[in-house]
Amino acid sequence: MTYSNSLRKDYITNRSLITGVICLFAALALRLAETCPFDRRLIPVLFIASAVYFTFYFFFRRYGENPQPGIAIQSLIGVGVITFLTHFTGGVISPLNCLYFAILASEVACGVTFSLTIYAALASYLGVVLGEAYGLLNVKFELARTIYANPLMFAVLAAPIVCYMGITGYLGRMVLLKIRFEEEEENRNQQAILKRFSELDAYSHIGLLAHRIAHDLRGPLTSISGYIELEQLSPDKDDSERAALADLSETVVNMAKALSDITRFGRAADGKKEEIKMKDFFSSLLSILVFHKDAKNIQFRQNYPDAREISVTAQRQDLQQAYFNILKNAVEAVKDNTGDKIVEISMRQSDGALEVGVTSNGPPVPPEILSQLFHKAVTGKQEGTGVGLMITHDLLMRNDINIEIRNLDGAGVQVRTRIPLKAG
């Protein structure tokens, strides 16, 4: 139950306007009626209440910036009006005693509770009924006089209302505390998911950058290494030149080794394989992916015909990064669809392996790119680098998982992987 200040302000002003209109119509109806079942002093009270609510409406609509004191003031105005209504409509037998509960409930509906309101409501009600019971206030209704004359009957009628008012205030506070606790818990879980998404996304971009650097530098280093070897074979080099070439060759070798390290940067370090329940694995991955900036309005479908849970043995971080890349590519492929945007994950067992398919109904992959995937840094995306699938391929292969991509006959693309299952 999260409310913005503007929403609270709208609630306060609308409630004041509606209450003012109700008081005005009630006053006019009683004024025009030939007989009034209540004390006729109620009529000017309703007119005054209507004027107060309309004044509060126009003032708060124009100048009210902080809703919290506005709600408190409005509640206290309501309690004051109900005090007169209770007295003029029968006191202990007044049918309008329920309005006290409406005031308390309206605060909860707005997402706040004030201790002052419940105390004011209790003091108001007790002031009226005790004042009438002890002769401090006039009593118009004969039934009310009879009840006041019988202390036991008076207690039987008044005590439950007092108790229920206190219970309503207490329960309202408890409900709000529970809702706020659940909201905080949900926010913590959402922040944890967003953090995990950021880690995976950042991890992916680091890996892409590292492979891009390695890819761009490997060719020039090979050329330099070949040139140094040719120069070392030249017979007209003296000892100092040969020593300089040897040092340069060693530097190039070290750079090549550093490039090998770079290609491993951004990839999960070699870790222990573990048993992974694939349904839970993809559920967790999708709960992260829905926060992707392009995931809006995308239908994520899960098609698992096998009723029982299927587990595989692999390095969890490798699978998380690989399938995150695959699903992210599928999301980016369908984001510009004018119709439905569908990404489906399917799983089935086949010949001792688990086949996992990620299907999207986006545009097909151009044939010239499809034939070079996993081998060269090629891409059909405007801002893509083409090395993301190379990283994905490496992560899956070191877990003995095969991957292939194909265009579907109708429309869309499917990425299919085969994960070996343990025998038995």
The residue segments making up the domain with residue 328 are: 274-420
Task: Return d(Cα 158, Cα 134) in angstroms, integer.
Answer: 14
Residue 19 in tokens: 């209450």
Q: Are residues 215 and 278 in the same domain?
A: no
Domain end marker among 215, 242, 264: 264
Task: Return d(Cα 96, Cα 88) in angstroms, integer.
Answer: 10
Q: Are residues 13 and 145 in the same domain?
A: yes
Give pLDDT tens digits for 34-57: 777 778 888 898 899 999 989 988
Q: Which value, to the nearest 10 degrees, does the dihedral of the CA atoms of residues 216, 219, 223, 224 take?
A: 40
Q: Are residues 107 and 222 in the same domain?
A: no
Q: Are residues 214 and 289 in the same domain?
A: no
Q: Are residues 282 and 354 in the same domain?
A: yes
Q: Is there a domain that residue 164 lies in? A: no
Quote helix, strand, coil % in the chain, to nearest 5: 65, 10, 25
Task: Return d(Cα 28, Cα 44) in angstroms, integer.
Answer: 10
Q: Is there a domain that residue 312 lies in? A: yes
Give pLDDT tens digits for 323-337: 988 998 899 889 888
Q: Is there a domain that residue 156 lies in? A: no
Q: Is there a domain that residue 181 lies in? A: no
Tally of domains in the chain: 3
Q: Are residues 303 and 240 in the same domain?
A: no
Q: Is there a domain that residue 183 lies in? A: no
Q: Are residues 396 and 283 in the same domain?
A: yes
Residue 295 sits at φ, ψ, to 5 deg, of -85, 0
Q: Is there a domain that residue 161 lies in? A: no
Q: Is the dihedral of CA 196, 201, 206, 208 positive or negative?
A: positive
Q: Are residues 256 and 293 in the same domain?
A: no
Domain end marker among 205, 234, 264: 264
Domain end marker among 232, 264, 296: 264
Q: Are residues 242 and 366 in the same domain?
A: no
Q: Are residues 236 and 282 in the same domain?
A: no
Q: 379: Cβ–Cβ under 8 A, 6 or more apart, which residues?
A: 369, 385, 386
The CA distances from residue 288 to 295, 321, 328, 329, 377, in Å, are 10, 12, 11, 14, 27
Show pLDDT as tens, one digit a residue, over the chain (424 residues): 445 567 777 878 888 889 889 989 988 988 888 777 778 888 898 899 999 989 988 888 887 777 777 888 888 888 999 999 888 888 898 888 888 888 888 877 777 777 888 889 999 999 999 999 988 988 888 898 899 999 899 999 999 999 988 888 888 888 878 877 877 777 776 666 556 555 555 555 555 555 556 666 666 777 777 777 777 777 777 778 778 778 877 787 777 766 665 555 444 445 688 888 888 888 888 877 877 778 888 999 888 876 567 888 898 888 888 898 899 889 988 988 888 899 999 998 888 889 999 999 988 888 877 777 766 544 445 444 456 677 788 888 888 999 999 888 877 899 999 999 876 5
Q: Are residues 245 and 361 in the same domain?
A: no
Q: Is there a domain that residue 158 lies in? A: no
Cα angle, residue 39 at apex, residues 34 and 42 outer, rounded to 5°: 95
What CATH number does residue 398 fall under? 3.30.565.10
Q: Is there a domain that residue 123 lies in? A: yes
pTM (2 decimals)?
0.48
Q: Which residues pair with 347 in a beta bridge?
A: 356
The CA distances from residue 324 to 102, 199, 203, 395, in Å, are 51, 11, 11, 12
Q: Are residues 201 and 253 in the same domain?
A: yes
Predicted local distance difference test score (pLDDT) of residue 261? 58
